[in-house]
Structures are given as structure tokens and as C-alpha cells.
Amino acid sequence: MNIFTLSDENDLTDKINLDDLFEKKREISENKLHLYNKILNRIHSKIKMTSRQNQGKEQFCWYLIPEMMIGVSRYNVAECTGYILRKLRENNFQVRYTNPNLIFISWQHWVPGYVRQEYKKQTGQAIDGFGNEVSENNNKGTKESSDPNNLLLNKSDSSIKIDKNKNKDFNSVKNYKPSGIYNNDLLQKIQDKFEPK
């Protein structure tokens, strides 16, 4: 073993595995993600506890993201906050952030499933979790439009309709009168003002 290079000269290889160089970075990223999910699960527990304790009267809660946790390596609070906000919004919560680490979480806007079912029984119209009416035609349209390949390759005329009987009323370019700030009257006034008398 050479004391200057800290390597064993008997272990000579002509190549190095590049994946080994990123192993530590992958491990750090996985630990960070595990920690962020741990904090997210604490938030989910607090949301459930708040909902149970208040019997549904208060449909919001506050959560203070810890700046440090005992037994856990240091982490970037801003990055963690961004991750948590994104995950809560994906879960259809209304979220507001107050600097440096306070989060307001509300689920008051959500229409529960039993209310949606009762509404559909009474009116015959289905609604989504936000209270927006959903028709069966809209569902089919969103499924077709979500895949861009279907839009390009679909030969049906249902997605794009062109009205061929439309009255083609064109205006001549000669009839165009500019409505910008530099019309002829204004230019004439400016010219009159600067002409020597």
C-alpha cells in the first residue's frame, strides 16, 4: 500500500464503475425523501386527529414544520416545505404557507362522497369532489384528450368540428381605420404645433 495515494497497488483495474460514484448521492436522496415523507405522515396524522376531535366543525389545521429534528441529520427546511406543499395540493387540500415554516391546511372546500351520492340521487346529476357538475360526455372527452396520440391519430369528427356553412364576411384593407394612439388627427395636431408661424 502506498501512503501517498492510499490505494493498494495489487488492486489494479482498467475501468471504474460510474454507478458507484453516485451511490452515496442516491443514498442521501433516499434518506431525505424518507424524512420528508415522515413529516408528511405526521401532517396527515394531525389532519385526521383535528377532524376527529372537532367532529367536523373545524375543517382546517395549522402545522409548524420543524427546523430540526433530534436524531435526524440536518435538512433543508425550504425544500421540505415545498415537497410537503406539493404533496398536500396533489391530495386536493387547500394549503397556505407563511414564512418561515408555518402551513395552513384546509379541506372545507371538499364535497364528501356521501353528499355527492345523495345529490346524484336527488338531481340525477353527478358532481365531483369540488362541487362541479360532471357529465358523461365530459368524462369521455377528457379521456380522449388526455392522450395526445389519440388526438393526432383519431379520425372521428367528434373532437373537432368546423362549420363550413359559416358566412364568410371579409373586410377590405382599404376600409381599415387605425385606432391606435397615432391616428391622422393627432399627427396633424402635432405637426401644426411644431410648424413655424
Identify the domain containing residue 52 by its residue range. 20-106
Provide the pLDDT for residue 93: 92
Q: Of 71, 106, 141, which marks where a domain is finished? A: 106
Contact 63, 50 (CB under 8 A): no
Provide the pLDDT for residue 145: 55
Rg over CA atoms, the chain: 32
Give the Cα separation of 86 and 60 in Å (integer). Answer: 17
| Residues 24 and 91 both lie in one domain | yes
What is the Cβ-side half-sphere exposure of residue 69, based on CA atoms within 13 angstroms?
16
Domain count, the chain: 2
| Residues 72 and 139 both lie in one domain | no
Provide the pLDDT for residue 141: 47
Q: Is residue 63 part of a domain?
A: yes
| Residues 128 and 64 both lie in one domain | no
pTM value surpassing 0.75: no
Provide the pLDDT for residue 61: 92
What's the distance, Cα to Cα, between the start and end of the chain in Å? 100
| Residues 69 and 143 both lie in one domain | no
Provide the pLDDT for residue 146: 58
Q: Which helix (H) or strand (E) holds 160?
A: none
Give the Cα separation of 21 and 12 in Å (integer). Answer: 18
Burial of 93 (0-12, 13-18, 19+ CB in 10 A): buried
| Residues 120 and 79 both lie in one domain | no
Mean pLDDT by 10 residues, the chain (197 residues): 64 78 90 94 94 85 91 89 94 91 91 88 86 69 55 56 63 74 76 82
| Residues 102 and 142 both lie in one domain | no
